[in-house]
């Protein structure tokens, strides 16, 4: 190493006391036309290579999104390596095939039998946390801002304990949001930017409320659907028609968007990273409209509106996101000792799965 | 010497430093506030460029420089060849347009050709046992839940099973066909084939009152599905489609599954339509092999369509449903129908059948047995209409074309023996023809023996006539409806008089 930085010796500057808060808006500079070209070229290459290029395509697209997301004039950086993603995908495909073949060879273990269900549950409860932790680690350690990486310090054991403790809630459908809350809390608490850990304040109420409101909206939405079914039933004694199917699909889509927006707000508004906190003010109805119009546009254009849909969604999210710092952002110091070694990184990159935070 | 402005991050803190970088003798010299060092160009890793974003240069030890992409590019020409090439493709519209055309062409080829071909090839390699297992699986999902055992009488069931055995006779294609009769109120009038060879026919379909040959057509249609392995191919094509749509709209999938599911469902129904047509074509071919008219199948389709709930209105929904619009299918079945088929189809009126037989004969394209049968059918119809002169001509032509049908011998002999028109009667020929008919049926048909008796009576040989007529009356096969007439004839012969049909 031939670096000799003079400033390196200076001790970290103490944070200014009682400095006025500074707001840093998040800017997203990605453009639909530009991204369309990236998307279509990478898609064509993926198809030409029978899918092998998909890992490179994914990295390329992610790097574009990250490079066009700015805070305080500096953009994010995505460092994921395509080979690691490819390996992860091949393993995932292998597991899927094993599942299919296994299901056919051992029908007594299929999901319709009790043994099969129990087995699936056990595998999901043990393997699930491992996959969540791995993918969070992968995504965090490959995200950097100002050359300082995020880190996820959660462990399989920690995540497993959370799952074991709360997984029963899943079986009582209406309590599922609380399980999700615990999982998201675990994930958020174990993130760090450099050496600074995320501190997570209370966000249970707004998080659960998002689901409760969505549930209420769903009940309201059920009314026109039932009216529709009855009206159709009176016209002719037909089975649930395409229209009803379409109606319920749309309903679920809208509720999903609503929950997405509100829970994302809830989590980010509760996170502190040292002197930095966040303000996330996405509106449920905006997000519902974005999702609905995205799906409409994608279907009408046979998929070719996908880049536009992705870019406008990211732009909206950035617009509603603000970083609030009690001082200049330069104060962070990366924890060198915590850097994952090359071998460790390899394992961390084995699986690339997105688990939405 | 190249020089450019850059931002420097040491990799230990988030502190941003503006620096000036100059490249000299294969080294980068970095200088700025509190920063001064140099590093070998070869040791620097340059990220591949991202459109509209600064280029990132990674220095050994985790530090990085960010600089204007254009100013850095010449220094790292020849590195990241693949990514640089991709970036060049991404930055120009003509390439994007090319990729678009390529994708559209590829996707349409895969959907229209590739997937069906691949599914067919793969299906051919899946052992029949595995296919049957899939069918069993599907069956177990239906049994008891949607369908109950048939409520038809055992006589009806036997007749249907006999009909089915006739439809599968001699197919020898490795499938184990079996007909399952089920009562499925929720499915209505329906029949469907499961992979492996189980064919389910609902009581509801049997009860809508189609002809036996109409049901044969439906069974042949389902056999066509099994033979073509349509169920299995449908499964494979569905999986392929899902993979394709997920690849193409992968980013959208992150948004929602709807954008992925809907096109898949629509395309699937297109495949199903194609399979229905193939099965229809097989049904028509198979029916013709067995001497049944495709019209019987077309009539059955119309009947099923009427029996379904909603009738007309349901047609609009067919765009989303799996069966092609029935009218189109009926048209196809009828388009496949020839004059010869119409000639032989009992469901038609006598005038149309005679016309059809005539044009089939006039076209001159019938094979020997077909020609004989067209003459025979026309002759029988004309006889039934009372046109004995024309009937005799046609039946003669049928025999001249090589017919060995006892029915033809019998009808002709009957006219020659009993016609009210003196010019038509010919006792000697009637005896000869009736004898052949009796030999062909081994004297087992009382109706034929009755004809031989009438011929003997016409020739004045009343002793023989009485003996033969008694034999006919004693036959266990005698249709009781003709018993009275036959006994009246016996009385005539005993009193030494021949039998004459009433003039019409």
* Residue A148 to residue B62, Cβ atoms within 8 A: no
Q: Which of A147, A294, A307 sits opposite B9 (nearest CB)?
A: A147
**Res A323: pLDDT:** 92
For an interface test with B, give the residue of A2, A3, A300 to mutate (most B CBs within 10 A): A3
Residue B113 DSSP label? I
Residue B409 DSSP label? H
For an interface test with A, give the residue of B5, B9, B10, B15 to mutate (most A CBs within 10 A): B15
Residues of B in contact with A64 (CB under 8 A): 50-51, 53
Question: Which CA distances in Å does B374 have to A258, B213, B297, B348, B404?
Answer: 73, 19, 21, 15, 13
* Residue A238 to residue B93, Cβ atoms within 8 A: no
How far is C-alpha A259 from the chain's CA centre? 13
Question: Which CA distances in Å does A264 have to A185, A253, A271, B161, B384?
Answer: 12, 16, 11, 63, 86
**Res A111: pLDDT:** 63
Helix extents (H) in chain A: 32-48, 54-67, 82-105, 114-141, 156-166, 176-189, 204-235, 242-269, 284-300, 306-319, 342-348
- For the ranges A3-7, A164-168, B259-263, the lowest mean pLDDT is seen at A3-7
**Res B422: pLDDT:** 83
CA nearest A39 in B: which residue?
B90
Q: A139-167: b or e for each residue (b if 16 or more CB lie within 10 Å)?
A: bbbbbbbbbbbbbbbbeeeebbebbeebb
Angle (nearest 5°) at CA A151 between A82 and A264: 95
Q: Is the pLDDT of residue A89 over 60?
A: yes
- For the ranges B162-166, B287-291, B397-401, the lowest mean pLDDT is seen at B287-291
- For the ranges A121-135, A241-255, A259-273, the lowest mean pLDDT is seen at A241-255
**Residue A51 to chain B, least CA–CA distance (Å):** 8
Paired residues of A325 in beta bridges: A22, A276
- Identify the band that residue B257 occupies on the pLDDT scale cut at 50, 70 and 90: low
Who has greater pLDDT, A201 or A225?
A201
**Res A287: pLDDT:** 93
Q: Which tens digit of pLDDT belongs to each residue from B352-365? A: 888 888 888 887 77
Residues of A in contact with B39 (CB under 8 A): 2-3
Q: Is the pLDDT of residue B252 over 60?
A: no
| Main-chain dihedrals φ then ψ at residue A53, nearest 5 degrees | -70, -10
**Mean pLDDT, rounded, of chain B:** 82
> Which among A146, A71, A70 is positioned nearest to B10, based on CA atoms?
A146
* Residue B99 to residue A333, Cβ atoms within 8 A: no
For an interface test with A, give the residue of B7, B11, B14, B99 to mutate (most A CBs within 10 A): B14
Distance from C-alpha of B298 to C-alpha of B309, rounded to nearest angstrom: 19
Distance from C-alpha of B111 to C-alpha of B118, rounded to nearest angstrom: 11
A17 touching B (Cβ < 8 Å): no
Q: Which of residues 131-190 of A touch B (CB under 8 A)?
A: 145-148
Q: Which of residues 257-276 of A touch B (CB under 8 A)?
A: none
For an interface test with A, give the residue of B26, B102, B251, B310 to mutate (most A CBs within 10 A): B251
Residues 6+ apart with CB under 8 A from A18: none
Residue B47 DSSP label? P
Paired residues of B31 in beta bridges: B20, B36
Q: Is the dihedral of CA A290, A293, A296, A300 positive or negative?
A: negative
Q: Which tens digit of pLDDT belongs to each residue from B118-131? A: 888 888 888 877 78
CA nearest A298 in B: which residue?
B259
* Exposure on the CB side of residue A194, measured as CA atoms within 13 A: 19
Q: Which of A12, A39, A75 sits opposite B53 (nearest CB)?
A: A75
How far is C-alpha B193 from the chain's CA centre? 11
Distance from C-alpha of B253 to C-alpha of B111, rounded to nearest angstrom: 19
* Residue B96 to residue A147, Cβ atoms within 8 A: no
For residues A130 and A164, the answer to whether their CB atoms sit within 8 Å is: no
**Residue A41 to chain B, least CA–CA distance (Å):** 6
| Conformation bin of residue B103: beta by default, left when phi > 0, alpha when psi is -120 to 50 | alpha
Distance from C-alpha of A44 to C-alpha of A4, rounded to nearest angstrom: 46
**Res A31: pLDDT:** 93
For residues A190 and A158, the answer to whether their CB atoms sit within 8 Å is: yes
Q: Which of B14, B38, B102 sits opposite A329 (nearest CB)?
A: B14
**Res A110: pLDDT:** 63
* Residue A104 to residue B59, Cβ atoms within 8 A: no
**Res A40: pLDDT:** 92
- For the ranges A286-295, A305-314, B363-372, the lowest mean pLDDT is seen at B363-372
Span A23-47, mean pLDDT?
A: 92
* Residue A51 to residue B247, Cβ atoms within 8 A: yes
- Identify the band that residue B308 occupies on the pLDDT scale cut at 50, 70 and 90: low
Residue B120 DSSP label? H
Who has greater pLDDT, A151 or A21?
A151
Distance from C-alpha of B295 to C-alpha of B160, rounded to nearest angstrom: 20
Residues 6+ apart with CB under 8 A from B65: B6, B7, B8, B9, B19, B21, B28, B30, B56, B57, B59
Q: Which tens digit of pLDDT belongs to each residue from B327-345? A: 778 877 777 777 787 787 7
Q: Is the pLDDT of residue B502 over 90?
A: no
Sheet of strand B17-24, all strands in order from the earlier edge strand to the far edge: B35-40, B27-32, B17-24, B2-9, B64-67, B55-58, B45-46
**Res B191: pLDDT:** 85
Residues of B in contact with A298 (CB under 8 A): 249, 252, 255, 259
Chains A, B: CB contacts within 8 A come to 192
| Conformation bin of residue B188: beta by default, left when phi > 0, alpha when psi is -120 to 50 | left
A104 touching B (Cβ < 8 Å): yes
* Residue B251 to residue A39, Cβ atoms within 8 A: yes
Q: Which of residues 313-332 of A touch B (CB under 8 A)?
A: 313, 329-332
Question: Which CA distances in Å does B431 have to B372, B405, B486, B499?
Answer: 22, 17, 18, 14
Residues of A in contact with B37 (CB under 8 A): 2-5
* Residue A309 to residue B252, Cβ atoms within 8 A: yes
pTM above 0.90, yes or no: no
Distance from C-alpha of B128 to C-alpha of A142, rounded to nearest angstrom: 49
Q: Is the pLDDT of residue A36 over 90?
A: yes
Q: Which of B37, B252, B259 sits opposite A2 (nearest CB)?
A: B37
Distance from C-alpha of B219 to C-alpha of B216, rounded to nearest angstrom: 5
Report ipTM (2 d.p.): 0.77
Q: Which of B14, B89, B320 sits opposite A242 (nearest CB)?
A: B320
Residues B482/B484/B485/B487 CA torsion (nearest 10 deg): 120
Q: Is the pLDDT of residue A82 over 90?
A: no
* Residue A330 to residue B96, Cβ atoms within 8 A: no
Residue keyed to tokens 């220094």: B75
Sheet of strand B178-183, all strands in order from the earlier edge strand to the far edge: B148-149, B178-183, B198-202, B191-193
* Residue A3 to residue B62, Cβ atoms within 8 A: no
Span A166-192, mean pLDDT?
A: 88
Span B366-373, mean pLDDT?
A: 80
Q: Which tens digit of pLDDT belongs to each residue from A119-160? A: 878 888 888 888 888 888 888 888 988 888 888 888 889 999
Residues of A in contact with B89 (CB under 8 A): 41
**Mean pLDDT, rounded, of chain A:** 79
Q: Is the pLDDT of residue B265 over 70?
A: no
* Residue B51 to residue A34, Cβ atoms within 8 A: yes
* Residue A306 to residue B251, Cβ atoms within 8 A: yes
Who has greater pLDDT, A59 or B244?
A59
**Residue A276 to chain B, least CA–CA distance (Å):** 13
**Residue B91 to chain A, least CA–CA distance (Å):** 7
**Res A286: pLDDT:** 94
Structure-block tokens of residue B77 = 């020409």
Q: Is the pLDDT of residue B401 over 80?
A: yes
* Residue A36 to residue B51, Cβ atoms within 8 A: no
- Identify the band that residue A106 occupies on the pLDDT scale cut at 50, 70 and 90: low
Q: Is the pLDDT of residue A64 over 90?
A: yes
Q: Is the pLDDT of residue B466 over 50?
A: yes
* Residue A147 to residue B62, Cβ atoms within 8 A: yes
For residues B497 and B454, the answer to whether their CB atoms sit within 8 Å is: no
For residues B195 and B229, the answer to whether their CB atoms sit within 8 Å is: yes
* Residue A334 to residue B252, Cβ atoms within 8 A: no
* Residue A5 to residue B249, Cβ atoms within 8 A: no
For residues B304 and B326, the answer to whether their CB atoms sit within 8 Å is: yes
* Residue A67 to residue B96, Cβ atoms within 8 A: no
Q: Which tens digit of pLDDT belongs to each residue from A279-303? A: 999 999 999 999 999 888 888 887 7
Q: Is the pLDDT of residue B414 over 80?
A: yes
Beta strands in B71-136 (DSSP E): none
**Res B269: pLDDT:** 65
Q: Is the pLDDT of residue A329 over 70?
A: no
Q: Is the pLDDT of residue A72 over 90?
A: no
How far is C-alpha B78 from the chain's CA centre? 58
**Res A351: pLDDT:** 40
Q: Which tens digit of pLDDT belongs to each residue from B435-450? A: 888 888 888 888 888 8
Residues of B in contact with A61 (CB under 8 A): 251
Q: Which tens digit of pLDDT belongs to each residue from B311-332? A: 444 444 444 444 556 777 887 7
- Identify the band that residue B275 occupies on the pLDDT scale cut at 50, 70 and 90: confident
Q: Is the pLDDT of residue B114 over 60?
A: yes
> Which among B119, B129, B5, B13 is positioned nearest to B71, based on CA atoms?
B5
Residues of B in contact with A4 (CB under 8 A): 36-37
Question: Which CA distances in Å does A47 have to A60, A336, B244, B247?
Answer: 16, 40, 9, 8
Paired residues of A75 in beta bridges: A70
For residues A108 and A115, the answer to whether their CB atoms sit within 8 Å is: yes
* Exposure on the CB side of residue B107, measured as CA atoms within 13 A: 24
Rg (CA), chain B: 40
Q: Is the pLDDT of residue B310 over 70?
A: no
- Identify the band that residue A105 occupies on the pLDDT scale cut at 50, 70 and 90: low
């Amino acid at each position: 190493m031939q670096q000799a930085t003079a400033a390196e010796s200076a001790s970290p500057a103490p944070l200014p006391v009682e400095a006025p808060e500074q707001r840093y808006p998040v800017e997203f500079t990605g453009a639909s036309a530009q991204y369309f070209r990236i998307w279509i070229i990478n898609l064509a290459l993926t198809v030409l290579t029978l899918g092998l290029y998909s890992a490179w395509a994914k990295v390329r697209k992610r790097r574009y999104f990250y490079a066009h997301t700015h805070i305080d004039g500096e953009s994010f950086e995505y460092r994921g390596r395509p080979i690691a993603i490819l390996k992860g995908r091949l393993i995932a495909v292998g597991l899927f095939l094993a599942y299919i073949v296994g299901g056919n060879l051992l029908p007594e273990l299929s999901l319709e039998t009790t043994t099969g269900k129990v087995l699936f549950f056990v595998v999901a409860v043990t393997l699930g946390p491992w996959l969540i932790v791995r993918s969070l680690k992968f995504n965090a350690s490959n995200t950097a801002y100002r050359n300082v990486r995020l880190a996820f310090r959660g462990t399989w054991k920690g995540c497993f304990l959370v799952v074991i403790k709360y997984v029963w809630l899943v079986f009582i459908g209406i309590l599922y949001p609380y399980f999700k809350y615990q999982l998201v809390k675990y994930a958020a608490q174990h993130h760090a930017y450099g050496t600074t850990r995320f501190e997570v304040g209370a966000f249970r109420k707004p998080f659960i409320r998002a689901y409760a409101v969505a549930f209420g909206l769903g009940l309201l939405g059920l009314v026109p659907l039932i009216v529709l079914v009855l009206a159709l039933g009176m016209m002719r004694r037909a089975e649930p028609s395409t229209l009803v199917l379409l109606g319920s699909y749309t309903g679920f889509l809208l509720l999903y968007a609503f929950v997405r927006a509100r829970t994302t707000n809830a989590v980010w508004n509760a996170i502190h990273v040292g002197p930095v906190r966040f303000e996330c003010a996405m509106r449920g109805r905006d997000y519902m409209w974005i999702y609905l119009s995205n799906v409409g546009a994608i279907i009408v254009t046979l998929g070719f509106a996908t880049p536009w849909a992705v870019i406008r969604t990211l732009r909206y999210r950035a617009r509603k996101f603000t970083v609030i710092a009690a001082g200049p952002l330069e104060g962070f110091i990366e924890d060198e000792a915590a850097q994952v070694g090359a071998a460790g990184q390899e394992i961390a990159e084995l699986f690339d799965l997105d688990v939405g935070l | 010497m190249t020089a450019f402005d850059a931002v420097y991050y040491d990799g230990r803190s988030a502190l941003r430093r503006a620096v000036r970088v100059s490249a000299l003798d294969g080294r980068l010299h970095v200088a700025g506030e509190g920063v001064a060092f140099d590093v070998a160009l070869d040791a620097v890793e340059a990220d591949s460029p991202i459109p509209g974003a600064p280029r990132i240069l990674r220095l050994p030890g985790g530090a990085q420089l960010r600089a204007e992409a254009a100013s850095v590019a010449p220094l790292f020409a020849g590195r990241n060849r693949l990514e640089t090439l991709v970036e060049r493709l991404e930055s120009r519209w003509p390439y994007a347009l090319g990729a678009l055309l390529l994708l559209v062409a590829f996707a349409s080829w895969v959907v229209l050709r590739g997937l069906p071909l691949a599914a067919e090839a793969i299906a051919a390699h899946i052992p029949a046992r595995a296919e049957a297992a899939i069918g069993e699986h599907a069956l177990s999902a239906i049994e008891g839940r949607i369908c109950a055992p048939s409520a038809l009488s055992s006589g009806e069931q036997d007749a249907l099973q006999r009909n089915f055995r006739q439809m599968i006779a001699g197919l020898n294609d490795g499938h184990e066909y079996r007909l399952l009769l089920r009562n499925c109120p929720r499915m209505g009038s329906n029949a469907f084939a499961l992979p492996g060879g189980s064919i389910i026919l609902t009581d509801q379909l049997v009860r809508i009152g189609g002809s036996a040959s109409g049901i044969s057509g439906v069974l042949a249609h389902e056999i066509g599905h099994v033979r073509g392995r349509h169920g299995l191919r449908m499964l494979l094509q569905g999986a392929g489609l899902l993979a394709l749509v997920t690849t193409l709209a992968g980013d959208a999938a992150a948004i929602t599954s709807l954008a992925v599911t809907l096109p898949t469902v629509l395309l699937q129904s297109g495949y199903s339509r194609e399979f229905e047509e193939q099965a229809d074509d097989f049904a028509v071919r198979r029916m013709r092999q067995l001497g049944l008219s495709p019209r019987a199948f077309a009539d059955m389709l119309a009947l099923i369509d009427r029996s379904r709930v909603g009738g007309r209105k349901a047609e609009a929904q067919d765009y989303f449903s799996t069966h092609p619009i029935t009218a189109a299918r009926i048209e196809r079945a009828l388009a496949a129908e020839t004059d010869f088929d119409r000639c032989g189809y009992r469901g038609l009126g006598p005038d149309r059948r005679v016309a059809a037989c005539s044009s089939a004969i006039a076209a001159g394209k019938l094979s020997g047995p077909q020609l004989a049968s067209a003459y025979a059918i026309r002759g029988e119809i004309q006889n039934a209409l009372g046109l004995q002169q024309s009937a005799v001509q046609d039946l003669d032509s049928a025999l001249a074309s090589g017919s060995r049908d006892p029915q033809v011998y019998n009808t002709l002999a009957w006219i020659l023996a009993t016609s009210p028109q003196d010019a038509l009667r010919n006792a000697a020929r009637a005896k000869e023809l009736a004898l052949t008919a009796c030999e062909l049926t081994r004297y087992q048909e009382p109706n034929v023996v009755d004809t031989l008796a009438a011929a003997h009576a016409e020739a004045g040989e009343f002793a023989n006539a009485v003996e033969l007529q008694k034999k006919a009356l004693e036959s266990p096969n005698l249709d009781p409806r003709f018993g009275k007439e036959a006994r009246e004839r016996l009385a005539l012969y005993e009193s030494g008089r021949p039998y004459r049909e009433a003039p019409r």
